[in-house]
Structure 1
Amino acid sequence: MAVSGRARALYQRIADQLRVQITEGALRPGDRLPTEAEIAATWDTTRSTAVQGLKVLVNEGLIISDRPRGYFVRSRRPMVYRPQGEFRKRPLSPEMDLFLTQMSEEGREASQRIEVKVEAPSRQVRERLQMQEGELVVVRRRVRFVDGVPYNVNDSHFPLALVQGSEIMNPDDIARGANIVLAELGYEQVRALDEIQVRMPTPDEADRLQLGPGTPVAIHLCTGYTKAGRPVRSVVNVLPGDRHVITYERLRPQIEEALVIRLAGEEDLHTVVDLWGHAASWLQERGIDQWQYPPREERIAANIEAGECWIVEADGAPVATITVDEHADPDFWSPSETKESALYVHRMVVRRDVAGLSIGSALLDWAGEEAVRQGKQLLRLDAWRTNDALQQYYRDRGFEHVRTAEVDGRHSGALFQRPATYKRGIGPELKTVASSPKEA
């Protein structure tokens, strides 16, 4: 038997109806809501119940109370906040110019109020600047205003020992920006760590930003580091939720330098298994039955011990793996084919977050070069019989479909080969840092 939920209280139903009118546009920003008495009459209830319903919407930040005039739909004109814009190249200009320019382009008036203090840092700032107890910071506290309304708080903290006597100590705009001053002092920032939290404001934050009830804030913590890894600046930005849209741009990283390919060692067994497992999960999500069984770790370990398993690394992180050997699977390749001079590719996996950078093509070219080094004439592989996209992938890379061998209990068997000397020539360069034992 179905159990019905508790009926919503009348004040909640009043809030629900008004909320729908606001979100669907029947009540627009700046519109005056019905009075408490009008709501009470419409719903045949008391004025205190109507007030309860209105307070729900005040606490949600949808309406404001402006006594004695009444309740009004809150106007929201959010500012687009782009944390990644800080390190973009820009002309030497006042440190607030990016903010001023953005607001000017939107036809809005911007200003700021600055004060500078020397004080003991909060625990949060002290930890991020890796400071000792008793060390002091210089804080440049800024409240930024748009159209006369305080829009956000920007408090920049610097270790006093680094900036004492510099322009950072002055409560004025810095013509070339505080980051440039830091660089001139020998502390150029080359990277920043961004952290974003969402919570209700503290009383001090609510006072500085003139926040009404029910307005959450996003806290953007930004820590700037030098090339040596020293933190030299900690910024706390307080962004009211009704006044900001936080926007991040992300560029897909491009691999410009040569990747490293090296022989896998015993300690790499789990790395190879994990790469294989991630690929299997990705295939399963797309309804492809390939590799839907536990990885055969004993075979991978044997390939590693024989010096046949390789790992590709980018900046020291494994991004791909491939196994190449002389083993012609007797279930698939005929006795006469087994006698032919060929190197065989197994378990080629490229991590999904670098897919599309042609690492797989580069790996197949590398495998062809390895075949040539070992005096082989052909590069061969067997592909999953039901994975048509994978088979087309190999055709596009110069492989000829020899035939498809159907063997009971085996799901692979689409056989491909190409001349060992074939080279597609796309994708990143692979720099071998360990020789195959066969060459040793």
Structure 2
Amino acid sequence: MTVPYTDDGAAADRRSLHERIAADLRDEITSGDLAPGAALPSTAQLKTRFDASNATIQKALQVLKDERLVVGRAGASVTVREHRQRTMRPASYMAPAPPGAPYRWLTEATKHGTTAHSTLLDVAEVRPPADVSAALDLTEGGTAMLRHQILSIDDEPVELVKSYYPLEIAEGTAITSRRKIKGGTPALLAELGFPPRLSVDRVSARVPTQEQFHALNLPGDLPVLRTLRVVYSDADRPIEATVMVKAGHLYELQYEFSPE
């Protein structure tokens, strides 16, 4: 397939004009130039800025509405949603929860005035993806225990989670039960003698699979953020490998680092 180029040698943007307009406005929303609750420029202003017709501007705005970034109706101003993009801080919920306390992810999510809950979708012994298998040091064709759940904020699905555990750790424990674990698996693993000592994240942007598209109720062909997190206990033993997928246009990850 031949890729068209502009006169200066750069690859041409083959997206339709309304998609390009939506992309520019999306970037201004997610970067904060258009703040939560702020009104977008008027249709007339957008028509002038992008040299576009009224119909094209309306198609671009509909894309952003479908992506749950803006709200508005015909004849009224369009504004940025108050929760147009959530910042997730993985370090804040990686440690085991205190005894009897909810899973830390749920606790952190509610700090921003939202409600959060998890839904357990499946628990089964499976052959994990190749990168998970390698992370857990499984033998070729080896299996692991899967706990598959979806996390929601304000009844909106936000993250599809598949956690895998070595069978020698999971067997005979609540990890194999089709029920939620009080405090989450980090607390249970610590109780079993496998306290988390190190977590390593590999984050990539990917085109969503069919399962991810439907589970997260995605509006279009936007990328998802895929995180492969491997948790190690004493002696660098891998005790958990989790694949977490969330909508890339609605969530960002924040990590803090200190100079050594």
Per the normalisation by structure 1, the TM-score is 0.45
Match for residue 193 of structure 1 among 194, 200, 205: 200
1:172 partner amino acid: R
Hey, what does 1:318 align to over in structure 2? none
1:250 partner amino acid: F
Q: Deviations over 1:352-396 (max 9, x none)?
A: xxxxxxxxxxxxxxxxxxxxxxxxxxxxxxxxxxxxxxxxxxxxx
Equivalents in 1 of 2:246, 2:165: separation in Å?
A: 21
Hey, what does 1:218 align to over in structure 2? 225
Q: Given the superposition, is the C-alpha separation of residues 20 and 121 from structure 1 closer, same or farther in structure 2, using an over 3 Å criterion?
A: closer
Hey, what does 1:231 align to over in structure 2? 238
Equivalents in 2 of 1:21, 1:128: separation in Å?
A: 35
1:148 partner amino acid: D
After TM superposition, give the deviation of residue 215 of structure 1 in Å. 2.5
Hey, what does 2:150 align to over in structure 1? 143
Q: Which structure's relative contact order is higher, taking Cα pairs within 8 Å and 6+ residues apart?
A: 2
Match for residue 107 of structure 1 among 88, 113, 134: 113
After TM superposition, give the deviation of residue 181 of structure 1 in Å. 2.4
1:189 partner amino acid: P
Hey, what does 2:4 align to over in structure 1? none
Q: Any conservation in 1 of the 2:96–2:186 contact (CA below 8 Å)?
A: no
Q: Any conservation in 2 of the 1:95–1:174 contact (CA below 8 Å)?
A: no
Identity fraction in percent: 23
Is residue 117 of structure 1 aligned with residue 152 of structure 2? no
Equivalents in 2 of 1:105, 1:119: separation in Å?
A: 35
Hey, what does 1:356 align to over in structure 2? none
After TM superposition, give the deviation of residue 8 of structure 1 in Å. 9.0
Q: Is the partner of 1:207 in helix, strand or coil? A: helix
Match for residue 59 of structure 2 among 54, 57, 68: 54
Hey, what does 2:184 align to over in structure 1? 177
Q: Deviations over 1:245-272 (max 9, x none)?
A: 211122333xxxxxxxxxxxxxxxxxxx
Q: Is the partner of 1:151 in helix, strand or coil? A: strand
Q: Deviations over 1:134-173 (max 9, x none)?
A: 3211111111111111011221100123211211112322
Kindly report which structure 2 residues correspond to 1:186-335, keeping only aligned pairs within 5 A, or say none: 186-253=193-260
After TM superposition, give the deviation of residue 14 of structure 1 in Å. 9.1
Q: Deviations over 1:290-343 (max 9, x none)?
A: xxxxxxxxxxxxxxxxxxxxxxxxxxxxxxxxxxxxxxxxxxxxxxxxxxxxxx
Equivalents in 2 of 1:18, 1:89: separation in Å?
A: 39
Structure 2 unmatched runs, 5+: 1-6
Q: CA RMSD in A?
A: 4.2
Structure 1 unmatched runs, 5+: 254-440
Q: Any conservation in 2 of the 1:22–1:73 contact (CA below 8 Å)?
A: no
After TM superposition, give the deviation of residue 127 of structure 1 in Å. 0.9
Match for residue 152 of structure 1 among 150, 154, 159: 159
- Structure label with greater radius of gyration: 1
Q: Any conservation in 1 of the 2:96–2:184 contact (CA below 8 Å)?
A: no
Per the normalisation by structure 2, the TM-score is 0.71
Q: Any conservation in 2 of the 1:200–1:216 contact (CA below 8 Å)?
A: yes
Kindly report which structure 2 residues correspond to 1:369-384, keeping only aligned pairs within 5 A, or say none: none
2:147 partner amino acid: R
After TM superposition, give the deviation of residue 225 of structure 1 in Å. 1.5
Match for residue 173 of structure 2 among 156, 160, 166: 166
Kindly report which structure 2 residues correspond to 1:355-434, keeping only aligned pairs within 5 A, or say none: none
Is residue 64 of structure 1 aligned with residue 66 of structure 2? yes
Q: Given the superposition, is the C-alpha separation of residues 241 and 44 from structure 1 closer, same or farther in structure 2, using an over 3 Å criterion?
A: closer
Q: Given the superposition, is the C-alpha separation of residues 13 and 148 from structure 1 closer, same or farther in structure 2, using an over 3 Å criterion?
A: closer
Q: Deviations over 1:102-160 (max 9, x none)?
A: 23222211111113122111112111111012321111111111111101122110012
2:116 partner amino acid: A
Is residue 79 of structure 1 aligned with residue 86 of structure 2? yes
Equivalents in 2 of 1:173, 1:240: separation in Å?
A: 24
Equivalents in 1 of 2:36, 2:199: separation in Å?
A: 43
Q: Is the partner of 1:228 in helix, strand or coil? A: helix
2:197 partner amino acid: V
Q: Given the superposition, is the C-alpha separation of residues 167 and 12 from structure 1 closer, same or farther in structure 2, using an over 3 Å criterion?
A: same
After TM superposition, give the deviation of residue 57 of structure 1 in Å. 7.7
